[in-house]
Amino acid sequence: MGRIKQGLDYFPLNTDFMHDRVVRRVMKREGDSAFTILLYTLSYLYSGEGYYIHVDDDFYDELSDQLFCTDNDNVRQVLRLFVEYGFFDSSLYERYGILTSADIQRQFLFVTKRRSRRHISPDYCLLPDEENVHPTLPDAVAETADIVTQTPDTVTESPDTVTKSTLLKRKEKERKENILPNPPLP
């Protein structure tokens, strides 16, 4: 039986990410290490559950061990500032001790749109109901399966067409090459 993938293999990062007002404010206040702490946190977040990460003393220890000249208190302070300035949702941070945001959840749903199982816990969900499609409903699963089934058919037909076209061109070229302008004398 196949393994059910929880998190993501990659996460997109906008090219203007460093120009985000919140990121600049925290970096100005806490230094350049704030950017590194944020990138590490996002990597853990997307690779773990995919749309949130539980932060506790163990998480702060692990993160600070991977960074030079950064201790637990500095990591905790930087992440609190990102929560305070609205990069992460403050209510879920206070209630459950997790870091997430509506943008992160939206990105998770977008990247996992072809998965048969992509569920955001109702307790942690920050998206409106129309954005948070629950694939556990039969309609959503059937819709996804149709899309996935149609794609290979289209892909399979294209190489056949290309192959036939290529073969015809090659045969025509060979026929032209085999015609000698002056036939040999007997």
CB 47, CB 8: distance < 8 Å: yes
In this predicted structure, what is the pLDDT of residue 172?
72
Distance CA 136, CA 51 (A): 18
The number of distinct structural domains making up the chain is 2
Q: Are residues 143 and 125 located together in one domain of the fold?
A: no
Q: Are residues 30 and 92 located together in one domain of the fold?
A: yes
Which secondary-structure segment (H or E) carries 33? Answer: helix 33-47
Q: Are residues 114 and 61 located together in one domain of the fold?
A: yes
Q: Are residues 147 and 64 located together in one domain of the fold?
A: no
**Considering the domain boundaries, does residue 99 fall inside one?**
yes
Q: Are residues 111 and 162 located together in one domain of the fold?
A: no
Q: Are residues 101 and 163 located together in one domain of the fold?
A: no
Q: Are residues 125 and 167 located together in one domain of the fold?
A: no
pTM, 2 dp: 0.66
CB 37, CB 63: distance < 8 Å: yes
Q: Are residues 120 and 142 located together in one domain of the fold?
A: no
CB 78, CB 33: distance < 8 Å: yes
Q: Which residue segment(s) compose the domain that 104 sits in? A: 17-135
**Considering the domain boundaries, does residue 10 fall inside one?**
no
**Considering the domain boundaries, does residue 4 fall inside one?**
no
Q: Are residues 148 and 129 located together in one domain of the fold?
A: no
- Report the amino acid identity of residue 7: G
pLDDT 10s per residue in the chain (186 long)? 555 667 888 788 888 888 899 999 999 999 999 999 999 999 999 999 999 999 999 999 999 999 888 899 999 999 999 999 999 999 999 999 999 999 999 999 988 888 877 789 999 999 987 666 554 443 344 444 444 444 444 444 445 555 666 767 777 776 666 665 555 565
Tell me the backbone φ, ψ of residue 126, rounded to 5 degrees: -110, 0
**Considering the domain boundaries, does residue 160 fall inside one?**
yes
Q: Measuring CA to CA, how many Å separate 74 from each of 68, 78, 81, 97, 162?
A: 12, 6, 11, 17, 59
Q: Are residues 114 and 162 located together in one domain of the fold?
A: no
How many residues appear in the chain?
186
